[in-house]
Amino acid sequence: MDKKAIEAMIIRYQDEVMNGHNDDLLSEIFHSDFRGETDESALQMETHGVDVKAAREFMVEMRSKVSELRYTISEMRWEGEELHLRWTMEGIHTGTLMGIPPTNRRFTFSYPNRSRFKDGRIISACSDWDPEELSRILQG
């Protein structure tokens, strides 16, 4: 596994997919057997599922609830074959999220993520985010 190439791909994912909204690149970045391992039920989103299609739909739905949504990586480190990241998301809460009506407040939220790879693409990912912390942030 070429770890430097994977790190470059993750930066591309951040820049072109998450922030650039070029969702067509997901098929290049996520393995066709991708499975998301994050429990996102607390977000109370309409999107459900764990495959690449669900990941794409989730991003589109999140953008509908958080305007000016932007992600940055504040940490990237390897533990064996697993890449650990710290994502920071920021935006304006403009849609109902976690059952919380829009506050129209700008917010910032950081959370850890770990990903595994197969054939140079993401095969699984899990974000360990704290629903209570995000709820507090959204409510101000």
Rounded Cα distance between 14 and 6, Å, is 12
CA angle 113, 98, 25 (to 5 degrees): 45
User: For 85-114, how does the pLDDT look when each residue is reduced to its tens digit (9 = 90+)?
Assistant: 999 999 999 999 999 999 999 999 999 999
What domains does the chain contain, in order, with CATH numbers?
3-139 (3.10.450.50)
- Burial-class residue 17 by CB neighbours within 10 Å (0-12, 13-18, 19+): buried
| Paired tokens of 112 | 């850890």
Q: What was the pLDDT predicted at 1?
A: 73
Do residues 110 and 140 touch, judged by C-beta distance below 8 A?
A: no
Q: What was the pLDDT predicted at 49?
A: 87
User: For 47-62, how does the pLDDT look when each residue is reduced to its tens digit (9 = 90+)?
Assistant: 888 999 999 999 999 9
Q: What was the pLDDT predicted at 140?
A: 85
Which DSSP string do the residues of 64-82 spell out, in sequence order? HHEEEEEEEEEEEEEETTE
